[in-house]
Amino acid sequence: MDKLSQNTKILDYMAKHGSITSREAMLNLNCMRLASRINELRKSGYPISATMETSTSGARYARYYMEVTGG
């Protein structure tokens, strides 16, 4: 799968689920480099933010979501 179609799938996933993590991207989209794809989307003008979360095992990870803009 090329980067463009991965980016589209990431955007679709976030629209449907509200956010995405690296684990979700790997399991559901077969995307191993979510941070790189998020960076590309940001450079393309998509307002994507991240929050850091901690799993029950203590591992920290980023959850990415589209910023809500007023209007």
3-66 has which CATH code?
1.10.10
In the predicted model, residues of the chain with pLDDT beneath 50 are none
| Model pLDDT, residue 62 | 98
- pLDDT for 68 equals 75
Structure tokens at 25: 């991207």
Domain extents in the chain: 3-66
* pTM beyond 0.85, yes or no: yes
DSSP string, 6-66: HHHHHHHHHHHHS-EEHHHHHHHH--S-HHHHHHHHHHTT--EEEEEEE-TTS-EEEEEEE
Q: What is the tens place of the pLDDT at every residue in 33-48? A: 999 999 999 999 999 9
pLDDT recorded at residue 67: 86
